[in-house]
């Protein structure tokens, strides 16, 4: 059981035929706007309205360090985590230009970075610990820390919602978190570990083999009880668990959740094992270039909007897809019906 409980209900489906009827009577052949129509139905169902809206979109980047990096599982050194957080704060990262382009407000959260930041209005300090423990040898996160992460991630989303936000996306910064995601993936899906492990930030084939060997040792060393929470604690990251809490809170608040790449897909996988209904609030935005991402998407029966060969993380794929989601809402709200436009139905 979670210390922080969420009241997540499946959106009522009675509105679905009315949404479809409205869309079918817009000035176009029936079904001709394809997935834009399906997105509009999903968002209208989440919001329980025939005129859905996307208000004050927010993007939250959670940052945390991973003890497993001591074993050389990442191409990038661990000091990159705080360095990139400074880059976010200065507006120079990939996620920054996308947030500016689409007028999305960013929040940057220190969930557990191994660095002492000075107080800043640009960084939310929710640090649980300066990096997780090394799960090659021990559990990365204690149960008490798990509960704290879920609670703090949820609180950030509450603040966004209180500011008028009803659509939210998430990203991460944490060297080593593709390793943790791979272990969550294999434990929660049963997909063999070798199919879950990829290049991360840049390993060649030999590097991937070394990474797999270390993660296989960590998995073999696992002596937990096999429960969902124990797996999330043993192999998790603080930024990943805060994301899980954030996703669950967003679903409870009937917010639209935009899912980014490999790490965020494994976070929604974890969230769905705690509360399956969270999936109905989620839009999968892109299939990344990390090995295993397609497999976990298939496991979740998720069909992403984009496949651009991206693997940057930070939430960049979610923000790239945002205009398509915006288009779906504009379609249902701004297109004229056949009656309004005095056009004869032509299908």
> What's 171's DSSP letter?
E
pLDDT of residue 207: 85
Closest CA to 80 of 207, 177, 153: 177
12-49: pLDDT as tens digits: 999 999 999 999 999 999 999 999 999 999 999 999 99
Closest CA to 144 of 318, 4, 303: 4
pLDDT of residue 290: 83
Alpha-carbon distance 285 to 102, whole Å?
A: 15
Cβ count within 10 A of residue 95: 27
279-328: pLDDT as tens digits: 999 999 999 888 899 999 999 999 999 999 888 999 999 999 999 999 99
pLDDT of residue 340: 96
Name the residues annotated as catalytic: 314
pLDDT over 90 (residue 345): no
143-202: pLDDT as tens digits: 999 999 999 999 999 999 999 999 999 999 999 999 999 999 999 999 999 999 987 767
Beta-carbon contacts of 88 under 8 Å, excluding residues fewer than 6 positions away, are 61, 95, 96, 106, 108, 173, 314
44-64: pLDDT as tens digits: 999 999 999 999 999 999 999
> What domains does the chain contain, in order, with CATH numbers?
16-52+331-341 (no CATH), 58-325 (3.40.50.10210)
| Cα 302 to Cα 274, 282, 286, 297, distances in angstroms | 18, 10, 10, 5
DSSP 228-259: HHHHHHHH--HHHHHHHHHHHHHHHTT-EEEE
Closest CA to 279 of 317, 243, 250, 308: 250
Average pLDDT over every residue of 73-81: 91
pLDDT of residue 297: 98
When pLDDT is cut at 50, 70 and 90, the band that residue 80 belongs to is very high
Alpha-carbon distance 320 to 275, whole Å?
A: 27
């Amino acid at each position: 059981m979670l210390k922080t409980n969420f009241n997540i209900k499946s959106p009522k489906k009675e509105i679905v035929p009315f949404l479809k009827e409205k869309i079918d009577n817009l000035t176009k052949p029936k079904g001709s706007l394809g997935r834009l129509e399906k997105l509009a139905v999903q968002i209208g169902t989440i919001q329980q309205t025939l005129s859905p809206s996307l208000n004050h979109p927010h993007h939250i980047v959670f940052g945390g360090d991973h003890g497993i990096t001591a074993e050389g599982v990442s191409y990038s050194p661990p000091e990159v985590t705080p360095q990139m957080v400074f880059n976010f704060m200065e507006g120079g990262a990939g996620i920054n230009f996308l947030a500016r382009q689409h007028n999305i407000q960013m929040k940057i959260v220190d969930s557990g970075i191994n660095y002492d930041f000075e107080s800043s209005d640009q960084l939310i300090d929710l640090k649980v610990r300066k990096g997780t423990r090394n799960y090659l040898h021990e559990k990365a996160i204690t149960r008490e820390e798990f509960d704290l992460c879920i609670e703090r991630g949820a609180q950030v989303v509450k603040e966004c919602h209180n500011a008028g936000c009803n659509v939210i996306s998430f990203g991460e910064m944490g060297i080593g978190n593709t390793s943790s995601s791979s272990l969550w993936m294999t434990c929660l899906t049963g997909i063999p570990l070798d199919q879950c492990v990829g290049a991360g930030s840049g390993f060649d084939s030999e590097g991937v083999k070394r990474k797999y060997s270390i993660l296989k040792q960590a998995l073999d060393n696992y002596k937990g009880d096999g429960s969902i929470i124990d797996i999330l604690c043993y192999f998790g990251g603080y930024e990943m668990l805060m994301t899980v809490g954030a996703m669950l809170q967003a679903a409870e608040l009937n917010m639209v959740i935009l899912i980014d790449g490999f790490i965020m897909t494994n976070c929604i996988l974890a969230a769905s094992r705690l509360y399956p209904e969270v999936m109905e609030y989620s839009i999968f935005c892109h299939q990344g270039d990390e090995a295993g991402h397609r497999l976990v998407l298939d496991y979740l029966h998720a069909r992403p909007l984009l496949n651009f060969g991206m693997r940057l993380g930070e939430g960049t794929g979610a923000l790239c897809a945002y205009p398509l989601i915006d288009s779906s809402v504009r379609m249902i709200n701004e297109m004229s019906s056949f009656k309004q436009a005095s056009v004869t139905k032509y299908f």
